[in-house]
Structure formats: C-alpha cells, structure tokens
Amino acid sequence: MKKKTLALIHTVNWYDKSVFNPFVAPWLKRNPDVRVFNLMDDSLLAEALAHNGATKAVIKRIQFYVLSAEAMGADVAMCSCTTMGEATRLARQYASIPAFNIDEPMAREAVRRGRRIGIVATVPTSPAATQRQLEYAAHDAGVSISIKIALNEKAFAHLREGEIEEHNELVHREMDRLAPKVDVLVLGQISLARIKHPARVPVLQVGHSGLAEARRLLNQVRK
C-alpha cells in the first residue's frame, strides 16, 4: 500500500530540535504507513516578530507553502508555528488537502476543559495567535470564555542561547502565577511542548495533540 504523506511547514531553522526529533520521529515509528517531508522558511517568524504579527506577505507565503505541499504530493499539511495560525486558516481555503495549525486541536481541548483559560507564552506574537485559536474554538462550540495571558520574552531569549534551565524556570514561574486564576493552562508554542511542570489545573500543549490530529485527517485519505 502506498504511504500517506504529511507535510510539515516550519518557521525556525532548528525545527529538528523543537519538532522533528522529539515528536515526529517517534510518531513515525508508530505510524509506518506515513511519510513526512518538511518545508522551512525562517523568514516567516522573523518578519512576523518584526511587525507584531503575520504580515500580508507572510500570509501569502504560507498560502504558497500549503499549495506547494499539495503539489508535492502531501495528503495533509500541518504548520508547526503558533504565530502562523491565522495565515494557515486563510491558506486552507485555497487548498484541496486538509491544512491546519499545530495548536488548533489544543484550543478545542482547552474549550472543552474550562471557560477561564490561561495562555503562557514566550514569543510576543504568540499570545494573540493562541487567543484567536481559542476564540474560534469557543465560537464553534457555542460557549463563552475568558482569557488571561502570561508572556515572558526573557525566557525565549534564554532558549535561543541554549540556556534551557533558565528558560524552564521562568516558564514554570509564569505557570504558577497564572494557574490559580484559570481552569486550564495552554502552552501554545512548540518551544514549550516539552515543559514538564505540575500545576493546580490541567496543562495543555502542542506536539502530540497536533500529530494526533494529523493522524485523524490522514485516516480519512484513501490510497
């Protein structure tokens, strides 16, 4: 039987460390009927960070990458960058294959878990993007939610310098500060997907949940 194909669209050049090695490689071992290829353009996040969000040019490039993934034989496309959520939502209108952002399934689960939702982030463009995903999910579910945000840009600076312990300590601190005020915490960035820190409320992350959604969509493909 011909393998099904998942295209991954990345916006950082260290996607192997943040996405592929910790999540995709073990997932492929459990899903031998799937092959994966990667598309990477690290100008996407750089431009979005410089302009406090995805620009029209960034949105257009995401559309091109989704269409390129389709032309390259992908059955499903997943973007691994939280900041690209709105761009991915627009891009899938022009594709004939399913395309989604890695944090969409997390947002749907968060809305199922509670009405007071806390967002922990370290990239300045991430909270607004995660908030939009949560609001879309709440609208689709017919419920009202409230959102609180904890943003710590210093943590991301530590991560880029390879200072993992310092990064994690700051993230843990933000989680502890926000948890008493919400029903569920969401860590929408893939760079936060390996945080392991107990909280007094459920903690939802991307990574495994995104690949589970990819598997669900691939199951609908007939080869």
Cα–Cα distance measured from residue 92 to residue 76, given in angstroms and rounded to the nearest whole number: 10
Q: How far apart are CA 24 and CA 80, in angstroms?
A: 11
Matching CATH topology for 4-102+208-219 and 104-205?
Answer: yes
Residue type, 167: H
The CATH architecture that domain 4-102+208-219 belongs to is: 3-Layer(aba) Sandwich (3.40)
Q: What's the CATH architecture for 104-205?
A: 3-Layer(aba) Sandwich (3.40)
pLDDT, one tens digit for every residue, the chain (223 residues): 789 999 999 999 999 999 999 999 999 999 999 999 999 999 999 999 999 989 999 999 999 999 999 999 999 999 999 999 999 999 999 999 999 999 999 999 999 999 999 999 999 999 999 999 999 999 999 999 999 999 999 999 999 898 999 999 999 999 999 999 999 999 989 999 989 999 999 999 999 999 999 999 999 988 6
For residue 64, what are its two tokens? Answer: 């091109």
Q: How far apart are CA 100 and CA 13, in angstroms?
A: 20
Give me the pLDDT at residue 208, please: 94
What is the three-state SS of the chain?
Answer: CCCEEEEEEECCCCHHHHHHHHHHHHHHHHCCCEEEEEEECCHHHHHHHHCCCCCHHHHHHHHHHHHHHHHCCCCEEEECCHHHHHHHHHHHHHCCCCEEECCHHHHHHHHHHCCEEEEEECCCCHHHHHHHHHHHHHHHHCCCCEEEEEECHHHHHHHHCCCHHHHHHHHHHHHHHHHHHCCEEEECCHHHCCCCCCCCCCEEECCHHHHHHHHHHHHCCCC
Residue 64: what are its φ and ψ, rounded to 5°? -60, -40
pTM of the model: 0.91
Angstrom distances, CA of residue 100 to CA of 97, 114, 134, 214: 10, 23, 14, 9
Provide the residue ranges of all domains of the chain, joining segments of one domain with +.
Answer: 4-102+208-219, 104-205
Residue 85 and residue 132 in contact, taking contact as beta carbons nearer than 8 Å? yes
Residue from 78, 76, 96, 74 nearest 88 by CA = 78
Residue type, 152: N
